[in-house]
Structure 1
Amino acid sequence: MNGKLTKSEALELITPVIDNEASAEEREAFMAYIAHDDEVRQEYQAMKALKSVVRSRCPSAKAPDSLKKFLSSLCSSELSEAEAPPIYDVPCKQTVSSHNNPEQPGDDHDFSNWWYFATAAVVLITALLWGSMSYFNSTANSSVYNLEEYAYQHFTKHDGRLVSPTISTASLGFAEIQLAQDYDMPMTIPELEKAEFKGVVYDEFVPGYSAPLLEYHLSEEDQYIYIFAFRLDKMEEFGKLVRNEEAVNTCTKSQDFHVRNVNGKHVVSWKWNDIWYTAISNHDGNTLASLVKPLGYTNR
């Protein structure tokens, strides 16, 4: 090989050099050429980077026998047709630039641009796909759960009926002791007007976070009331359970409460010390709040 390459020859050597298919002489001549041709060097580096990405993301696998047989039959078919007379393309008319310059320097430049942009497009698509997967994985791992909406989901899931209690008792005091001792949940269990306390269900409220559900029964109406309780410090530590912003701003004193309509059900929230309470039933929100004796609310 001649020691000096033309641009066209250098472009043709990009793939063989990257794939280690070029001879030592060809590789040496290529490296000498790109030392003074920035455009070809950039294309070489872009193709090398692309092949590195593909190699790392798409490990090779052994081809199945069926594919080998298909390729073998295809090659045999092509060999049998090799004796047929060739069909030549109709030559294109010369462009203005090629007519003005017989050496056609624009051909190498056009091929160079096409190769560069094609390589850049593939690299960009690969980066976008990888970024999309990373984004969706990170999104899945950082799910945020709305507290009032999940209270609604639990209520509708059980049709507003009694859920088998973890702590089955009618005593508010006994339930408070059990929650403090067994679940590190010291809290005040509210007394409800005309309602019988049925116990506590300690279970997963949202994936990865458990909370107590206080259950009450109004025998006159045969209606159940759910009250969920959350330690604010544990909820903040969990970081994925969010409260209604208006409710947070409203409930600052012990008798404050907030009503939110979630799909036709009223969810009532309030705060006592470091415990956040969220109640739901089939009642109007103000009616439900009036049943919670310590809130001291009269529904007029």
Structure 2
Amino acid sequence: MNRKLTKSEARELLAPVVDNEVSAEERDAFLAYIAHDKELKQEYESMKRIKALMGNRCPCAKAPDSLKHFLSTYCSSDTSASNTPPIYDIPSKKSVSQQDQLNTSTQHSKWWYYAAAAIVVFTVSVWGFLNYQSSMVENSTYNIEKYAYQHFMKHDGKLVPPTISTASLGIAEIELAQHYDMSMTIPELDNADFKGVVYEEFVPNFKTPMLEYHLSGEDQYIYIFTFNIDKMEQFGQLVRDQDAVKACTKSGDFHIRDVNGKHVVSWKWNNIWYAAISNHDGNTLASLVKPLEYEPSED
């Protein structure tokens, strides 16, 4: 097809091109046309994205036996009807005009049948897609250590503007209890200046405090994420490292997990779970939190 397409001809080829149901010549002619028609090109790109999305998000499922039985029965009855011997030469009692009207009515009925079927298929597909998306969101789980690492890397381990800006641990504890219903002990770290509390979304639909510290001698920041265990379990989508849960039974216990080369130190005080991360080795980080029972190894 070397001739140039008109807009109406190109539009008729839109769906067949997306579905790869045209010849190479037709496809080339269509692509040549939309190169100069921004509107139709946008429609083409949009249709391709929708098709790709539906293909990725709506995986094929095996048809239930009930549907197979229905189709089998339907096809059998249809085959039986088609095998009925035709009857010829029966005079029609209707006039030609009436017969034309009947044929037109039949054609309209078929058109509405196919349109209705298409609407049903589309509605079921959209419903399935939305339910699939919803179940994906509802069933998502988030690992605390991995997301602590992601937040640290997102901010490049630098100062995040605090929601509660104070150098006083006591004031920060009062603010958290009064305004965020989070009663906790804010740890004091050796040689580190407390910079305040960042109260933000840790994972989608779940906010929790992040405590910020600064080691001025090294110009390094330490993030400590804190979680009320009852609220975390009620949320149902946050997951702690199971080895850490088993290891942290007493106030002095802690656990170190390596996440992509960064160490996350976890511990539990009363009903609060702590997850600390910095550029330090896990043991070095744990040694800064005095209540933790860090014991340096002897060479």
Q: TM-score range by the shorter chain?
A: 0.5 to 0.7
Q: Which residue of 2 aligns with 1:281?
A: 278
Amino acid at match of 1:267: V
What SS does the aligned partner of 2:152 have? helix
What is the percent sequence identity of the aligned residues? 64
Q: Does 1:261 align with 2:285?
A: no
Distance in 2 separating the partners of 1:244 and 1:253: 17
1:140-181, CA deviations, whole angstroms, 9 ceiling, x for partnerless residues? 332111100000000011110110001111100000000000
TM-score calculated relative to the size of structure 1? 0.59
TM-score calculated relative to the size of structure 2? 0.59
Q: Which residue of 2 aligns with 1:56?
A: 120
Q: How does 1:38-57 map to 2 (within 5 A)?
A: 54-57=118-121
Distance in 2 separating the partners of 1:174 and 1:213: 15
Distance in 1 separating the partners of 2:288 and 2:83: 84
Amino acid at match of 1:196: D
Amino acid at match of 2:202: F
Q: Does 1:272 align with 2:251?
A: no
What SS does the aligned partner of 1:294 have? coil
Amino acid at match of 1:12: S
What SS does the aligned partner of 1:190 have? coil
Amino acid at match of 1:138: S
- Alpha-carbon offset, residue 294 of structure 1: 1.3
Counterpart contact for 2:253–2:293, Cα < 8 Å: no
Counterpart contact for 1:257–1:268, Cα < 8 Å: yes
Q: Does 1:147 align with 2:144?
A: yes
**Count of equivalent residues:** 192
Distance 1:10-1:283 versus aligned 2 partners, 3 A rule:
same
**What's the RMSD between the two structures over aligned residues?**
2.7
Q: Which residue of 2 aligns with 1:101?
A: none
Distance in 2 separating the partners of 1:13 and 1:175: 85
Q: Which residue of 1 aligns with 2:56?
A: none
Counterpart contact for 1:176–1:189, Cα < 8 Å: yes
Q: Does 1:172 align with 2:169?
A: yes
Distance in 2 separating the partners of 1:256 and 1:130: 49
- Alpha-carbon offset, residue 55 of structure 1: 4.8
Task: Give the greater-gyration-radius structure (CA).
Answer: 1
Q: For 2:160, which of 141, 158, 163 is the aligned residue?
A: 163
Q: Which residue of 1 aligns with 2:190?
A: 193
Counterpart contact for 1:216–1:226, Cα < 8 Å: yes
Q: Does 1:12 align with 2:76?
A: no
Counterpart contact for 1:215–1:225, Cα < 8 Å: yes
1:11-43, CA deviations, whole angstroms, 9 ceiling, x for partnerless residues? 3399xxxxxxxxxxxxxxxxxxxxxxxxxxxxx
Distance 1:10-1:196 versus aligned 2 partners, 3 A rule:
same
Distance in 2 separating the partners of 1:226 and 1:193: 14
Q: For 1:226, which of 223, 229, 233 is the aligned residue?
A: 223
Which runs of 5 or more structure 1 residues have no equivalent in the other structure?
1-6, 15-49, 60-125
- Alpha-carbon offset, residue 8 of structure 1: 7.9
What SS does the aligned partner of 1:293 have? coil
Counterpart contact for 1:287–1:299, Cα < 8 Å: no
